[in-house]
Amino acid sequence: MGIPVSHSEHRRTTKPSLTSAQAKNMPEGWTNDPSELEGFFSPGSGEADLAQCHGLRDIKLLVMGTRDSGDMQYIIKSGRRYYWGNLMIDYIFEITNPKTFPAILRALATKGDSGLKYRKLKQVETVEMEPREQRVVEEEGPRLFVPYNPNAPSVSDK
């Protein structure tokens, strides 16, 4: 016989994950597909820097507008709170109602964005961007401009 498993442990291992349940109930125009979310809000990205400027830490990207929808909005989580933003604007809004992620998804599915209540966050710090490396072309000798004319007679034709 195997090692007995308590009823609560059994429930924990057989319960579908919240992510898989959410994938089935994703509002139209939104996705939580990891391949679609990949690269956004990664450390050092513009999105992560923007969130940091608004005082958010340990950010987790939960959903984004789908490519098909063309909508660039997103919902992230930091701490126990949820935030809405759009990649085309430099503001982040705290979702004040509803308070839970499943309720936020239901509101989006039934009422769209108007089903959410927001509070605009203030920027609390700025992130200094490192200057992009400038390419310097070192010139050797004088710069010569040689015009090109495909119809010009060649020296070998003479």
Residue 48 maps to a domain: yes
Give pLDDT, residue 67. 87
- Residue whose entry in the numeric block shows the structure tokens 């125009």: 29
Residue 147 maps to a domain: no
pLDDT at residue 8 is higher than 80: no
pLDDT at residue 76 is higher than 90: yes
Q: Give me the number of domains the chain comprises.
A: 1
pTM of model > 0.75: no
pLDDT at residue 29 is higher than 60: yes
Residue 53 maps to a domain: yes
pLDDT cut 70: percent of the chain above it? 67
β-strand partners of 64 = 31, 74
Residue 51 maps to a domain: yes
Radius of gyration of the chain measured on its C-alpha atoms: 26
Residue 11 maps to a domain: no
Q: How far is CA 33 from CA 13, 55, 66, 67, 81, in A?
A: 23, 27, 9, 11, 21
Q: Is 8 helix (H, G, I), strand (E, B) or coil?
A: helix
pLDDT at residue 48 is higher than 80: yes
Query: Average pLDDT over the chain, rounded to whole?
Result: 79
How many Å apart are CA 66 and CA 37, to the nearest integer? 10
Domain that holds residue 99: 18-127
Residue 95 maps to a domain: yes
pLDDT digits (tens, 9 = 90+) for 112-152: 989 999 999 999 876 555 554 544 455 556 666 666 677 77
Give pLDDT, residue 5. 41
Positions of E strands within 67-113: 73-78, 81-86, 92-97
pLDDT digits (tens, 9 = 90+) for 100-116: 999 999 999 999 989 99
Give pLDDT, residue 69. 85
Give pLDDT, residue 34. 94
